[in-house]
């Protein structure tokens, strides 16, 4: 198909150039014949005077008009010569031949129509997948809305989480709002509602978002999302120092490593960077992780490696963690760390197995422990 289009375009351009050359030649021929026409007119006028057909006075006036025409034609030829030289015609014919040949040669060397087909196919597949998800989401919404008992809370939470992934934050907030009005609503419901409300306003903590996070705190003060969003509200109110202190206090109060600590450490460093506070590291609050990740020397060495060597280095670090967990299968935080590492590396099966072990170990934890929900959410995401 692509070559047919190229051929049509090439022939079309050659035809246009050829017509241009023909038209220019015809104009040149017309210009070349003008002096002879004027000479014939003067000769014919002399013959008419000799026969007595035209008076001498009229003949003089006619000669003046013919000479004016000759002068105008001469000026026109000087300002824009129409006569095509042999060299210009050769150059035009070269262009007619060379341009299509060069274009085809360049495309055959550097073009790749297969890539275009792959890109189009991938885009079409992505659109079809997104359309399928949207259709299933709307079906779930319809079933929940038409349920005589109002629809199960788990269904509404799933609907809200799906809307969040689709970027439909207003719809997600509406779904979470329904569950938040029920007696069984937990702190996590209100923190997820807060997340949707903040995302809907492009990261701004509105009064509705603050009310939701306050309700989350009332139901479970240990919910780490409470610290995150209250610190965000303080920062946006111009109280960055208080926001930083709040996050640091929450981290200091932790009695071990929890996956949410990574998020709070990153938030503390973002806030601290704007107010001149020293950066912090996770090892400060979770010393039990010391020695389980790459050392400073390892990080420096990795930065100097080639891309292939760096990939092999990362794989070896992850494999070392996996081997250690075979000997220490009760290390819950280690399984979380392995799950995150496999997720980053694109090893979905490895991540799923790691989170399954984490979910099994967290089964006996209290409901207030965020690791229970994190393991369940990770498995749900990997199963889709």
Angle between helices 113-146 and 153-166 (to 10 degrees): 150
The 3-class SS string of 277-334 reads CCCCCHHHCCHHHCCCCCCHHHHHHHHCCCHHHHHHHHHHHHHHHHHHHHHCCCCHHH
Q: Which residue has the tokens 């047919």?
A: 4
Q: Is the pLDDT of residue 211 over 90?
A: yes
**For residues 236-248, average pLDDT:** 95
HSE-CB at 68 with a 13 A cutoff on CA atoms is 6
pLDDT digits (tens, 9 = 90+) for 331-372: 887 888 888 778 777 788 888 898 888 888 888 776 666 677
Low-confidence winner among 13-22, 301-310, 326-335, 354-363 (lowest mean pLDDT): 13-22
Q: What is the pLDDT of residue 371?
A: 72
Q: Is the pLDDT of residue 109 over 70?
A: no
The DSSP secondary structure of 41-63, one letter per residue, reads HHHHHHHHHHHTSS-HHHHHHHH
In angstroms, the CA 170 to CA 176 distance is 10
**Better pLDDT: 38 or 42:** 42
What are the structure tokens assigned to 313, written together? Answer: 């280095």
In angstroms, the CA 376 to CA 258 distance is 15
Q: Is the pLDDT of residue 49 over 50?
A: yes
The DSSP secondary structure of 64-133, one letter per residue, reads HHHHHHHHHHHHHHHHS--PPPHHHHHHHHHHHHHHHHHHHHHHHHH--HHHHHHHHHHHHHHHHHHHHH
Q: What does CATH list as the number for 296-383?
A: 1.25.40.10
Q: What is the pLDDT of residue 20?
A: 58
Q: What is the pLDDT of residue 217?
A: 94
Q: Is the pLDDT of residue 82 over 50?
A: no
What are the structure tokens assigned to 131, written together? Answer: 């359309």
Q: What is the pLDDT of residue 240?
A: 95
Q: What is the dihedral of CA 119, 120, 123, 128, to 10 degrees?
A: -140
**Better pLDDT: 324 or 100:** 324
Nearest alpha-carbon partner for 59 in 49, 68, 50, 72: 49
The total of other beta-carbon atoms located within 10 Å of residue 271's CB is 23
**Better pLDDT: 340 or 76:** 340
Low-confidence winner among 25-34, 144-153, 164-173, 243-252 (lowest mean pLDDT): 25-34
Q: Is the pLDDT of residue 27 over 50?
A: no
Question: Structural domain boundaries of the chain?
Answer: 2-110, 296-383
Q: What is the pLDDT of residue 334?
A: 81
- Asked if residues 339 and 193 have their Cβ atoms less than 8 Å apart, the reply is no
DSSP state of 206: -
256 φ, ψ to 5°? 175, -170
**Better pLDDT: 172 or 65:** 172
Question: What pTM does this model have?
Answer: 0.50
Q: Could you tell me the pLDDT band of residue 298, with boundaries at 50, 70 and 90?
A: low
Q: Could you tell me the pLDDT band of residue 99, with boundaries at 50, 70 and 90?
A: low
**For residues 212-239, average pLDDT:** 94
**For residues 153-168, average pLDDT:** 90
């Amino acid at each position: 198909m692509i070559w047919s289009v190229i051929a049509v375009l090439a022939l079309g351009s050659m035809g246009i150039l050829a017509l241009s050359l023909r038209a220019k030649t015809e104009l040149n021929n017309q210009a070349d014949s003008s002096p002879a026409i004027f000479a014939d007119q003067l000769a014919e006028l002399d013959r008419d005077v000799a026969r007595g057909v035209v008076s001498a006075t009229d003949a003089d006036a006619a000669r003046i008009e013919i000479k004016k025409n000759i002068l105008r034609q001469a000026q026109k030829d000087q300002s824009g010569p129409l006569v095509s030289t042999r060299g210009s015609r050769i150059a035009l014919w070269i262009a007619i031949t060379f341009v299509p040949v060069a274009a085809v040669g360049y495309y055959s060397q550097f073009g790749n129509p297969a890539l275009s087909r792959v890109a189009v196919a991938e885009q079409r597949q992505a659109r079809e997948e997104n359309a399928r998800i949207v259709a299933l989401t709307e079906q779930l919404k319809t079933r929940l809305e038409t349920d005589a008992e109002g629809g199960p809370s788990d269904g509404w939470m799933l609907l809200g989480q799906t809307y969040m992934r689709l970027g439909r934050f207003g719809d997600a907030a509406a779904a979470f709002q329904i569950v938040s009005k029920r007696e069984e609503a937990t702190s996590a419901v209100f923190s997820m509602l807060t997340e949707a409300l903040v995302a809907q306003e492009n990261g701004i903590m509105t009064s509705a978002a603050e009310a939701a996070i306050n309700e989350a705190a009332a139901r479970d003060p240990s919910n780490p999302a409470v610290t995150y969003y209250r610190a965000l509200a303080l920062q946006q109110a111009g109280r960055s120092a208080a926001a930083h202190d709040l996050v640091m206090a929450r981290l200091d109060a932790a009695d071990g490593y929890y996956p949410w600590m990574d998020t709070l450490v990153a938030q503390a460093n973002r806030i601290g960077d704007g107010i001149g506070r020293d950066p912090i590291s996770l090892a400060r609050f979770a010393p039990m992780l010391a020695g389980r990740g790459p050392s400073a020397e390892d990080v420096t060495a990795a930065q100097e490696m080639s891309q292939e060597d760096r990939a092999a280095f990362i794989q070896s670090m992850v494999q070392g963690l996996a081997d250690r967990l075979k000997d220490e299968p009760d290390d819950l935080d280690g399984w979380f760390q392995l799950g995150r590492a496999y997720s980053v590396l694109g090893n979905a099966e490895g991540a799923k197995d790691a989170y399954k072990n984490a979910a099994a170990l967290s089964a006996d934890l209290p409901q207030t422990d965020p690791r229970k929900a994190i393991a369940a959410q990770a498995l749900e995401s990997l199963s889709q």
